Structure 1
Amino acid sequence: MSSRKSKNSNLKHGECISQVQRILRERFCYQIPKGNLFGVQAQYRHLIELLKRTAIHGESNSALIIGPRGSGKTMIINQALEELMQIKDVKENVLQVHLNGLLQTNDKIALKEITKQLCLENVVGDKIFGTFAENLSFLLEALKKGDRTSSCPVIFILDEFDLFAHHKNQTLLYNLFDISQSAQTPVAVIGLTCRLDILELLEKRVKSRFSHRQIHLMNSFSFSQYLKIFKEQLTLPEEFPDKHFTEKWNETVQCLSEDKNVKEILLKHYHASKDLRSLHMLLMLALSHITSSRPFIIPTDLVEANHLCNMDSKANIVHETSFITLVNGKCPGSGARRPGIKSNITSESLLSV
């Protein structure tokens, strides 16, 4: 009877764990917003106000979100768009176009992607654009036909914005900023970049059409806020199906945040880098240790995850290599000595590598 109960509890825990891993991995990997935006509240209010003026009042705007990697640029734009789409009548009227400088490597590819995301392919029909200029003129004509009262607002999100500045003549940026300065279709152009000198990369004609509105993110939160972020990133939402499991999981997370060893690990991460991606990597490694027989994260999991994060890749290569191979200079699986390798290698010389 007891074995049957333990089997049922393991099965139940297994279902809960699969859902926990799905929720937390989405949160860690896809920058799905959760909880408060510590240290960037003022920047977030500025951004959401900017997007509301475009979506509700038909005002065209342009801005750059500038900050180091992991400072929360993608997170605040995702949360701002999520909040914007919850406003009545906005979700059906506002169009979004997401571009990435790593994927859209030239203006021609970018224009095709814009045409696809704006669902203008049906308008194109069987028409074949022979040149980049024809494709651009078609897109601009489609955007310029409307006015602020009758057209759907379009929000352009340009990730890795500095890479678009390297496109030939910066034609795409010029035309997007040009539309945002005119009284045609309401357009908001939001660029995300790590480059502080981004304005120096823009041509004079492009710079003259940009609003010069910049939102800087610098990870200015304290360690106490860092601990709150740690708890919020691991806490399960109230709508999780198993209420009993949710309570136990959240209690475990609270105990983790108060554990001395866990605090020391987090303090080292905080001083090394306030990059939340490194925190997500630590939590992802700790999350991989839970099983149906041990369904909750314990301090030992975070200690092991911290060890993996701080492990030296060169030291790993030496550890994986046979000591005899290094001393004798022989290739694995063969009796031949490698030419030019001496056999008088000492343990001191290996440690100094």
Structure 2
Amino acid sequence: MTVSEENLPPSPRQGKKRRLSKELPIAETTGEAIVEEDVYESIPVVSGVEWTQEQLQGLKARILPRLTGREPPEKLLALEEAEHRVYAFLENAVQTGEGGSALILGPSGSGKSMLTERALGRLKESQTPSSYLVVRLSGLAQPTDRSALVELARQVAPHLPQDSSMNPSQGFRSFADALAHLLHLLGSGSAQTTTPLLIILDHFDLFASRPRQTLLYGLLDAAVSGQTPVIVLGLTGRVDAVDMMEKRVKSRFSHRVIRLTRVPRFDDFYQVARDVLQPPEDLLGLLSPAHLEAFTQATEQLLTDPEVEAEIRRIFDLAKDPLRLNRVLIEPVIGLTPTSPYLLPQAVVQAAIRQTLTGLEDIPSQANSLLELCLIIAAKRFLEREEETFTFEQLYDEYLTFATTGGVKVWRKPVALKGFERLLASEMFLVSGGRGSSMSGLKGFWKVRISLDAQGISHLVDRFPRCPAPVKSWGQKWVQ
């Protein structure tokens, strides 16, 4: 059964309904967005296709995990080759019992975690789950090597021999001894008798920024020693993650780097929304073919709506990050009801606008001078080029290039460095990796990141009092 046109929301080209304006007015007194009333009425129940609460709950239970990232999508756009390389690396390590290491490098939203989970899912299908062990560590969740070792011991404890004991805090002269003892307990070192250990290190750069890098050295040394089959797979967004390793650590790294980029084409980015909202076929036990066809056609009409397409285009131009798009879709999916079982264009547009406005009016004017504002705008140029970290020297070069051609005052570097220090003190700029090795050396070469996104910086430029026209134009201009 197909969905007739009268059972779906009218096309905006028909002009039968008042549409939500993309530019919402802002109340002068409260600064809150004035959101119009619902534009469309609820979609009438399709003749012969009535939805129950149980059916919608089952549909949401399959779509929401995709949107939140808990479940990898069925298709990977522009990442098939990278997925094959990661899977082949893990499969070979499990089958041969040989250790190794690799690094997946890409900006936020490029699919590092999704790619890893997809490869592990394929490995689970092709190999016996008991033939290997997966351990997940994070540089954010485990801020010290000691806490990471405790978490490693906790995850492998159920697989240790019953008569063995592992207490990282007692009975060992050093951290290295505790790690070596833990790896020794996993087996005798033979590929036939030892379970391969796959260690996933999320935020790999945070492990590399710690003093002495003891955990990294121990794991990578075990990966090349051959005594215990250890496979280390790191995930990071920092392009200098390999250079952050100490010489002794770097010598044990395989230098196998898999580089990812964000979705390069808008058509591929648009396909992400289509795939993530596609109801899986294994719901046929709960939903009839008519339900699946009706929801698919309603979703297709949603994605052809001009304003929805404009919002997806805006997200693509802003960050090329599918996670941002997924966050916009979460609220409309949660709001599905038996009386309104299909996604409405205005629900998606309103969700996008609410997320855009959230917090922007509360951004403090942390640029106390025009010089500081110029440094913040210079940081925006790096964000638009998908470079999340930068140094003062890079910011000053970016500012100098603009100032010499834009006809604005050029501050000398020592004066600009004082402004940079004030932005550090106000936490507009944050030292990347925390207070570790990244803070050694001259302050002008510290790796820092900015606490706002590109859109927040543009909003800050708009609110800056008496901002010169060239600077304002520079702050609102997007890198092509």
Shorter-chain TM-score: which interval? 0.7 to 0.9
- C-alpha distance in 2 between matches for 1:143 and 1:204: 28
Q: Which amino acid aligns with 1:40?
A: L
* 1:209 alignment partner in structure 2: 252
1:256 maps to 2:302: yes
CA positional deviation for 1:45? 1.2
Give 1 or 2: higher helix fraction: 1
* 2:170 alignment partner in structure 1: 129
- C-alpha distance in 2 between matches for 1:183 and 1:126: 22
- C-alpha distance in 2 between matches for 1:314 and 1:220: 26
68, 73, 93: which one aligns with 2:107: 68
1:58 maps to 2:97: yes
Number of equivalent positions = 313
1:109 maps to 2:109: no
CA positional deviation for 1:296? 0.9
* 2:314 alignment partner in structure 1: 268
Deviations 1:98-134 (A, max 9, x none): 0011111222211121122112384444867244535
Q: Which amino acid aligns with 1:116?
A: R
* 1:242 alignment partner in structure 2: 287
Deviations 1:276-304 (A, max 9, x none): 11011111122233223211101111111
TM (normalized to structure 2)? Answer: 0.61
* 1:339 alignment partner in structure 2: none
SS at match of 2:65: helix
252, 263, 273: which one aligns with 1:230: 273
Q: Which amino acid aligns with 2:213?
A: Q
- C-alpha distance in 2 between matches for 1:256 and 1:11: 20
Deviations 1:62-89 (A, max 9, x none): 011111111100000000000000014x
Moved more, 298-307 or 18-27: 18-27
TM (normalized to structure 1)? Answer: 0.81
44, 54, 72: which one aligns with 1:33: 72
* 2:350 alignment partner in structure 1: 304
Q: Is the 8 A contact 2:311 2:349 kept in 1?
A: yes
- The 3 A distance-change label for structure 1 pair 290 and 12 is closer
SS at match of 1:156: strand
156, 161, 180: which one aligns with 2:199: 156
Q: Which amino acid aligns with 2:304?
A: E
Q: Is the 8 A contact 1:155 1:188 kept in 2?
A: yes
Q: Which amino acid aligns with 2:265?
A: S
SS at match of 2:108: coil
- The 3 A distance-change label for structure 1 pair 143 and 171 is farther
Identity percentage of aligned residues? 31
Deviations 1:179-204 (A, max 9, x none): 11122222210000111111121111
Segments of structure 1 that go 5 or more residues without pairing to the other structure are 1-5, 319-350
- C-alpha distance in 2 between matches for 1:294 and 1:100: 41
236, 243, 252: which one aligns with 1:193: 236
SS at match of 1:199: coil
* 2:130 alignment partner in structure 1: 92
Q: Which amino acid aligns with 1:186?
A: P
* 2:81 alignment partner in structure 1: 42
SS at match of 2:200: strand
- The 3 A distance-change label for structure 1 pair 254 and 272 is same
CA positional deviation for 1:207? 0.2
- C-alpha distance in 2 between matches for 1:226 and 1:135: 46
56, 80, 104: which one aligns with 1:17: 56
- C-alpha distance in 2 between matches for 1:145 and 1:55: 16
SS at match of 2:267: helix
Runs of 4+ in 1 over 6 A off after TM superposition: none
Q: Is the 8 A contact 2:101 2:254 kept in 1?
A: yes
Q: Which amino acid aligns with 2:170?
A: F
Q: Is the 8 A contact 1:31 1:74 kept in 2?
A: no
